[in-house]
Amino acid sequence: MVQLNEYHSGIPKFFKPFAVIGNEAVYVLIDLGRMGVFLLYAIIGMFKHPFRLKEVVKQLHFIGTGSVAVIFFTALSSGMVLGLQGYYSLHKFGAEGMLGSAVSLTLIMELGPILTALMVTGRAGSAMCAEIGIMRISEQIDALECMAVDPFRYLISPKFVAALISVPLLTAMFDVVGIFGGYLAGVKLMGVNSGSFFSGMEQSVTNHDINLGIIKSFVFGLLLVWICTGRGYFVQQIKGAGFGAESVSKVTTQAVVYSSISVLIFDYLLTAILL
Partner 1 sequence: MNTMAGNDTEADQVIRFVDVTKSFPGREGRHVVLNKVNFSVPRGKITVIAGGSGQGKSVILKLILGLMRPDSGQVLVAGQDVARLRSRSLRLLRTRFGVLFQGAALFDSLTVFENVALPLRERAHMKSEDLADKVLETLAQLELKGHENKYPAQLSGGMKKRVGLARALQLDPEIMLFDEPTTGLDPLMTNEIYNLFVQTQKRVGYTAVIVSHDIPKIFDLADQIVILNKGEVDVFASAKEIQWSIKPYIKEFYDTTMNNINGCNKNRAGQ
| Closest by CA position to 234, among listed 100, 102, 121, 135 | 135
> With the C-alpha atoms ordered 165, 265, 109, 100, is the resulting torsion angle positive or negative?
positive
Stretch of 2-10, 118-126, 196-204, 207-215 contacting partner 1, by CB under 8 A: 2-10
Residue from 15, 61, 139, 261 touching partner 1 (CB under 8 A): that is 139
- Cβ 244 to partner 1 shortest distance, Å: 12
Could you tell me which residues come within 8 angstroms of residue 135 by beta carbon, excluding any fewer than 6 positions away?
A: 141, 155, 232
> Residue 143 Cβ, how far from partner 1 at the closest point, in Å?
4
Say whether residue 2 binds partner 1 (CB under 8 A): yes
Cα–Cα–Cα angle for 35, 259, 117, rounded to 5 degrees: 130
Binding partner 1 (rule: CB under 8 A), the pick from 51, 72, 154, 218 is 154
User: Which CB, 49 or 92, lies closer to partner 1?
Assistant: 49
What DSSP letter does each residue of 193-240 carry, written as one string? -HHHHHHHHHHH--HHHHHHHHHHHHHHHHHHHHHHHHHHHTGGGSTT
Stretch that binds partner 1, among 30-38, 133-141, 171-179, 186-194 (CB under 8 A): 133-141
Nearer to partner 1, 83 or 158 (CB): 158
In the window 25-84, what residues touch partner 1 (CB under 8 A)? none
Q: Give phi and psi for 239, each to the nearest 5.
A: -60, 130
Residue 1 in contact with partner 1, rule: CB under 8 A: yes
Q: How many CB atoms lie within 10 A of CB 21?
A: 10
Q: Does 148 bind partner 1 (CB under 8 A)?
A: yes
CA-to-CA distance for 150 and 208, rounded, in angstroms?
A: 40
Contacts with 161 (C-beta within 8 Å, 6 or more apart), sequence order: 46, 56, 59
Stretch that binds partner 1, among 60-68, 136-144, 171-179, 244-252 (CB under 8 A): 136-144
For partner 1, the closer of residues 89 and 140 by Cβ is 140
Please pick, from the candidates 35, 68, 95, 150, the single residue that binds partner 1 as defined by CB under 8 A: 150
207 near partner 1, rule: CB under 8 A = no
Determine whether 161 is exposed, middle or buried from the number of CB atoms within 10 Å of its CB (0-12, 13-18, 19+): buried
Q: Does 275 bind partner 1 (CB under 8 A)?
A: no
Select the residue interacting with partner 1 from 14, 49, 92, 147 (CB under 8 A): 147
User: Residues interacting with partner 1, by CB under 8 A?
Assistant: 1-7, 9, 134-135, 138-140, 142-143, 145-150, 154
